[in-house]
Amino acid sequence: MAIDYEKIRNWPFEPVEQTYTHKDAILYALGLGFGADPLDEGELHFVFEEEGFSAVPTMAAVLGTPGFWVRDPESGVDWRQVLHGEQSIELHRPLPPEATVVAENEVTEVIDKGEGRGALIYTTRRISDKATGELLATNVSTTFARADGGFGGPPVEQPKPHPLPDRDPDSSLDLATLPQAALIYRLSGDPNPLHASPSVAKAAGFDAPILHGLCTLGVAGRAVLDTYCDHDAARFKSLKLRFSAPAFPGETIRTEMWKDGGVVSFRARVVERDVVVLNNGRVEIG
């Protein structure tokens, strides 16, 4: 079954209402490795509700998600071959420590890269505070459907990535991930079995379950928070990046950063394999 452009473009998402508490926010932070050093008081307020608790800004990426919707046979997508290609998060205000949010999801574009080259599915998610109606965050996500090119979609040019500065990084930070990081992180809302089942991972061409792209994103966001925001969530305004290769749970993520005014450019690589897993990253800070 091939992708039907009109069907995907007009996928009937229902509004998603989600209530999260400080326990959910702490679980998300623990999935990224926050609190690994019990003496690091800078990270404590992300994992301990009695210390001026804050939600990690990148948690916006997992709020109000429509679930693994491309697994629906009606989508025509070979879900076993999909990867997360790109992600952006714009924070309109800091996430509340606890809230009920309402998210509106929509497919905004589908790009046919051609037979054997896959397809790109762009979705936008707008997250609002149910109590106040205020818009909290806007996410744009790109799904790379590796096996679904050549369906005959209209020709659309893919947006260009953020260019990294042509100089050595201004700073870098190594953060280790836990061997069970993917099993913890999936509890924050991404049930794709690619991140938990060895048999599904093998069918997709991987030797073991891979780390969620959004988990790797969160680790890089953590590095920027630590290095340039003094762990102040309110200073973290937006993030966007491309996923360039998968990481595996237990590997060390080195985030290399360049600061130019209020913009931090970055990429992240796995130290053990010297493979860039996140590229063309851009964070706006205040």
- pLDDT tens string 166-222: 999 999 999 999 999 999 999 998 888 889 999 999 988 899 999 999 999 999 999
> What pLDDT score was predicted for residue 114?
83
262 is catalytic: no
Catalytic residue among 76, 213, 218, 221: 213
Question: Global pTM?
Answer: 0.90
What are the structure tokens assigned to 198, written together?
């060895």
Catalytic residue among 184, 210, 253, 285: 210
Long-range contacts of 223-227 (CB under 8 A, 24+ apart): 223/173, 223/175, 223/253, 223/255, 223/257, 223/266, 223/268, 224/255, 224/257, 224/264, 224/266, 224/283, 224/285, 225/56, 225/57, 226/42, 226/43, 226/173, 227/171, 227/173, 227/257
- Overall average pLDDT of the 239-249 stretch: 96
| Secondary structure class of 87 (helix, strand, coil) | strand
> What pLDDT score was predicted for residue 155?
73
Catalytic residue among 45, 84, 195, 231: 195
184 is catalytic: no
> What pLDDT score was predicted for residue 34?
96
- Overall average pLDDT of the 148-174 stretch: 90
Helices 213-228 and 22-31, interaxial angle, to 10°? 90
Q: Residue 147 — pLDDT band, cuts 50, 70, 90?
A: confident
Beta bridge partners of 276: 269
| Secondary structure class of 210 (helix, strand, coil) | coil
In this structure, are residues 78 and 147 in contact, taking their beta carbons and an 8 Å threshold?
A: yes
114 is catalytic: no
CA distance linking residue 221 with residue 264, whole number of Å: 11
> What pLDDT score was predicted for residue 90?
98
64 is catalytic: no
- pLDDT tens string 20-78: 999 999 999 999 999 999 889 999 999 999 878 999 999 999 999 998 888 888 888 88
> What pLDDT score was predicted for residue 264?
98
Say which residues have a Cβ less than 8 Å from residue 59's Cβ, sequence separation at least 6. 25, 28, 29, 95, 188, 218
Domain ranges of the chain: 5-285
Q: In whole angstroms, what separates CA 272 from the centre of its chain?
A: 22
What are the backbone angles phi and psi of residue 72, rounded to the nearest 5°? -65, 125
Catalytic residue among 24, 112, 190, 226: 190
- The topology under which CATH files domain 5-285 is Thiol Ester Dehydrase; Chain A (3.10.129)
